Amino acid sequence: MSSTLLQVGVVIPALTALRLGAHLAGASELLLHDQQLTTPLTSYSQLQEGLYLFNHGIDPYNGGTVRHSPLLLALFSSILPSSRDVAATLWALCDAIAAWALVQTWRARQNVSSSSRDGLVAAMYLLNPYIFLPTLALSTSSLENALLLLAVMFASQKKAAASLLSLAFLSHLSPNALLLLPPLVLILLTNPHSHLASPQKISFNAKKVAPLAAEFLLYTGVLTAASTLVAGSWRWIPQTWGTWFTLPDLTPNVGLWWYFFTEMFDHFRSFFLVVFSIHLLIYVAPLCIKFQHDPLYALFLLTGIIGAFKSYPTLADPGLFLSMTSIFPETFPYLRFPIVTSLLHLHSALLLPLFHHLWLTQGTGNANFYYASTLVFACSNGAAILDALWAGMRIAIGKDVDGYAVDQE
């Protein structure tokens, strides 16, 4: 009976229906404006505002309040109805697609057509509260997660065009995703199979890198041109892509940027914006080189780093990283502090809504309260990333043998 319940054909429909049931029960209305689940760049309310302006012939990027891509505005104004019930159904289906893509990636990594673990992998994604709650809040970060997992799935299946197109669309919505292009190309040129236990220098046809990069740039250029055509000018670029790097909206979120730049003197703002933006670049090459034998694991680690340090994160960003751990079970015995990391996440999950309520609802606290909870959340994300990094390297040594120990100098 339990094995039947964990079949992927049962898990995904059941948990998708659970999302729709929670929406019908009024959960979406309660969570729609929660700043831990949405940001100015992923808010459904601001998407609706942009749709209203767009449908009435007013430039939505003239006032500095709409941060969504023109393609999303065109999609929801012409093809998809903008009613909240339809949106909730669409968001639930996106989560179902994302879970299915994660299962397909797991199968490709194991080089099997199906496995007994498929349902568990899907459940790890769909039952993750960091994934579940942003979906109920109709945050577009759920759509971004689906695009990322589709890109990884297609890369694992050697479908280069579909993979690069998915990543191009994701990068169009969230420019930080550009950092995932190198490991994604490595997956296309090698394989997604697990080689963590036997790391070896990989060999691939380097001449294929340029055509893949050119294809990605072509898709990106087409999406950019289409957005400009829809918007009628280039004004949408600083209001969407530029926002990720200039941080004009300091609305509180679960990230590290907003409070730092609230307290920052204007004289130093430009310098630290550059530092914070470039900071993410330093991880790409080292991880791709160190885990060249397993580029899927490098992409997994980069996903966690981006989720922890991006300028406008939601809970869905680290939630994706945590859910992706399910496809790397070989690393579980080598995690050093899984209990500590879990308790840190539990602690921050309690502190974030509590201090947010004390500050912005009751008025008995201040911004330092909430920022302290985001620092705890950042520590929990950092602990998870470092533990995964350690396990990915430690597995090559193997388990400790009685009478012997592994010393780190």
Looking up tokens 């992923």 gives 42
Residues 143 and 150: their CA atoms lie apart, in Å, by 11
The pLDDT, as a whole number, for residue 55 is: 87
Which contiguous run of DSSP H or E holds residue 330?
none
Q: Within 13 Å and on the Cβ side, how many CA atoms surround 237?
A: 10
- Is residue 404 situated within a structural domain? no
Confidence of residue 405 (pLDDT cuts 50, 70, 90): low
Is residue 43 predicted with pLDDT exceeding 60? yes
- Is residue 365 situated within a structural domain? no
The pLDDT, as a whole number, for residue 339 is: 95
**Lowest-pLDDT choice from 198-202, 329-333, 392-396:** 198-202
CB 174 within 8 A of CB 206: no
How many CB atoms sit inside 10 A of residue 183's CB?
26
Mean pLDDT computed over every residue of the chain: 91
- Domain range enclosing 262: 2-327
Give counts: helices (H), strands (E), the chain: 20, 0
- 321-331 pLDDT, tens digit each: 999 999 999 99
CB 314 within 8 A of CB 36: yes
Residues 83 and 85: their CA atoms lie apart, in Å, by 6
Confidence of residue 81 (pLDDT cuts 50, 70, 90): low
Residue (of 22, 168, 157, 160) closest to 95 by Cα position: 22
pTM: 0.93
3-state helix, strand, coil in the chain (%, to 5): 70, 0, 30
Residues 383 and 101: their CA atoms lie apart, in Å, by 26
- Is residue 358 situated within a structural domain? no
In order, the DSSP letters of 352-401 are HHHHHHIIIII-SS-HHHHHHHHHHHHHHHHHHHHHHHHHHHHTTT-SPP
- Is residue 157 situated within a structural domain? yes
- Is residue 154 situated within a structural domain? yes
How many CB atoms sit inside 10 A of residue 36's CB?
25
Q: What is the CA radius of gyration of the chain?
A: 21
- 326-380 pLDDT, tens digit each: 999 999 999 999 999 999 999 999 999 999 999 988 888 788 889 999 999 999 9
Is residue 202 predicted with pLDDT exceeding 60? yes
- Is residue 359 situated within a structural domain? no
CB 307 within 8 A of CB 320: yes
Domain count, the chain: 1
- Is residue 40 situated within a structural domain? yes
Average confidence (pLDDT) over 6-34: 90
- Is residue 408 situated within a structural domain? no
